Amino acid sequence: MKSIRSEQILTVAGAAGKGEGVPVYLVGGSIRRMLTGKRMSDIDLVVDATRGAISLAERLAQKIPYASRPVAVSSFPTVEVRCGDITIQISEPLRNITMDISGVGGPLSDAMKQDVLRRDFTVNTLLCPVDKPAPEKIIDPLGSGLSDFEQRVLRTPLDPQETIGNDPIRMIRAIRFSNLEGFAIETALATAIRAGAPKITTMPGERINTELSKMLTGSQPSESIRTLHDHDLLRFILPELSALAEVDQPTGYHGDDVLSHTLKVLDNIKPELRLRLAALMHDLGKSSTKTEKDGRTVFYGHQYSGASDAKRALKRLRYPAKLIDEVASLIEMHMVAYREEWSDTAVRRFVRKAGEQLNDLMELYRADILARKPPFDDLSDFENLNERIVAVDAEEILKITSPLSGEEVMEILSIEPGPEVGKALDAIESAIVDGKITADSQTARNFLLNEYVTKRVGG
């Protein structure tokens, strides 16, 4: 990906603002990164002019190499431009509202003062002229934004119930800020979140998954999910997951309720979204499949029920279809019952079944083992299976394809297009994996006409 320095972008934005005679300010995350000395991987700007956002975005697109065309990102006057690996969001203050701005100071227009009050948290009300990006040039309109940032306190510019009512997604953002950026949620805000939790159901799934994904791919994602649960938000965002807090597991194996076990798995797995979603949802099915047998608690088939539950939940949150399928497939396969007694054929079948998701499945298996109650938290089974996967040459197994095409299968078996064609192709490939036949067309043809047909007719 082409790269460009944030300083270049700010220089162009500052010159554009001066050229048009309109103030342009850095705001939000850009200020927080400036104060902590971090690189501006994303840039947030606000322009104090009607149609200023689109005008500035067009100027940036013209003047900055590799810049994308401006794209509207919400119902507010906000547009986005991508410059290499930097995303720039540009907004402008709404001018059709009237608010009491008497408590807002600084060299700002009335519209900008209203914009300050509409923001989510006081630490996001700080502004800095884009042509003078330095900590000493920061404007603190409320007089409390800087001190709240220094004290790592999260509070709202207005009464928290009003701020949440204006945009309920702020409840999730507060928890993300708290756990990923180290802010303590002020008591009144925490109370307002618990009281306003049902309002999160009015938010589009895309906005919820944006916040959830940031939580999941950050450090210690379990803290964010646990805080969502403690503030009563989880049962409205993911009721399937929240319900696991009421499901106990056998003390000799896990010793935790299912939610607690799930959060351990979540922290144990690599910070890739599909893996963390799979970890988060891998035991969803235990709520509906819990039963007692011979004095033991069991969850027969929970992987299949859980895969279905995960699909529904992820669709509700508007995750991409491909990602949903990948996560559901991992959940369905996550019950790896490996034993040293497995034959090489069993290992090859395992590899074949996992397919392209083999590495992801093994990562989920490892994370799940580490989340069990000691002494089950050693990785000997995982390491042994991993060694055997290498020994049977997993890469070659995954390359195996039927030497016959679907059309040839239909001709040989005299069948029409349909699911039976796929079953026959799978049977050929499985026979090759098991070492029953060689990977040539004549042998595959004989297999179909003899063993496969006999089994199909007998079944």
Q: Given the DSSP bridges, would you call strands 291-293 and 42-47 parallel, antiparallel or unpaired?
A: unpaired
Contact 24, 45 (CB under 8 A): yes
* 272-314 pLDDT, tens digit each: 999 999 999 999 999 999 888 887 888 889 999 999 999 999 9
Alpha-carbon distance of 348 to 19, in angstroms, equals 67
Do both 389 and 352 map to the same domain? Answer: yes
Alpha-carbon distance of 26 to 9, in angstroms, equals 12
Give the pLDDT of residue 457.
57
pLDDT bin (cut points 50, 70, 90) of residue 1 is: very low
Give the mean model confidence (pLDDT) for residues 235-252. 90
Do both 303 and 377 map to the same domain? Answer: yes
Do both 138 and 10 map to the same domain? Answer: yes
Do both 389 and 446 map to the same domain? Answer: no
pLDDT bin (cut points 50, 70, 90) of residue 391 is: very high
Residue 252 has pLDDT above 70, yes or no: no
Indicate the range of 320-324, 350-354, 451-455 predicted with least confidence.
451-455
Give the pLDDT of residue 325.
97
Q: Given the DSSP bridges, would you call strands 291-293 and 296-298 parallel, antiparallel or unpaired?
A: antiparallel
Average of per-residue pLDDT values in the chain: 90
- Which domain covers residue 85, as residue numbers? 1-142
Residue 253 has pLDDT above 70, yes or no: no
CATH code, 444: 1.10.246
Do both 411 and 384 map to the same domain? Answer: no
Give the pLDDT of residue 9.
84
Do both 317 and 448 map to the same domain? Answer: no
Contact 233, 201 (CB under 8 A): no
Indicate the range of 78-82, 210-214, 251-255 predicted with least confidence.
251-255
Do both 405 and 313 map to the same domain? Answer: no
Residue 83: CB atoms within 10 A of its CB come to 23
Contact 189, 154 (CB under 8 A): yes
pLDDT bin (cut points 50, 70, 90) of residue 331 is: very high
Do both 359 and 416 map to the same domain? Answer: no
Total count of domains within the chain: 3
Give the mean model confidence (pLDDT) for residues 319-333. 97
Alpha-carbon distance of 169 to 433, in angstroms, equals 50
- Cis peptide, bond prior to residue 417, ω within 30 of zero: no
Do both 359 and 453 map to the same domain? Answer: no
Give the mean model confidence (pLDDT) for residues 41-46. 89
Query: Is 208 part of a structural domain of the chain?
Result: no
Do both 337 and 419 map to the same domain? Answer: no
* 430-451 pLDDT, tens digit each: 898 888 899 899 999 999 988 8
Residue 335 has pLDDT above 90, yes or no: yes
* 135-160 pLDDT, tens digit each: 999 999 999 999 999 999 999 999 99
Last residue of a domain, one of 398, 416, 438: 398
CATH code, 41: 3.30.460.10
Do both 29 and 112 map to the same domain? Answer: yes
Predicted model pTM:
0.88
Stretch (H or E) spanning 298 = strand 296-298
Contact 258, 249 (CB under 8 A): yes
Do both 394 and 405 map to the same domain? Answer: no
Residue 334 has pLDDT above 60, yes or no: yes
Last residue of a domain, one of 350, 379, 398: 398
SS3 417: coil
Last residue of a domain, one of 352, 367, 398: 398
Contact 156, 189 (CB under 8 A): yes
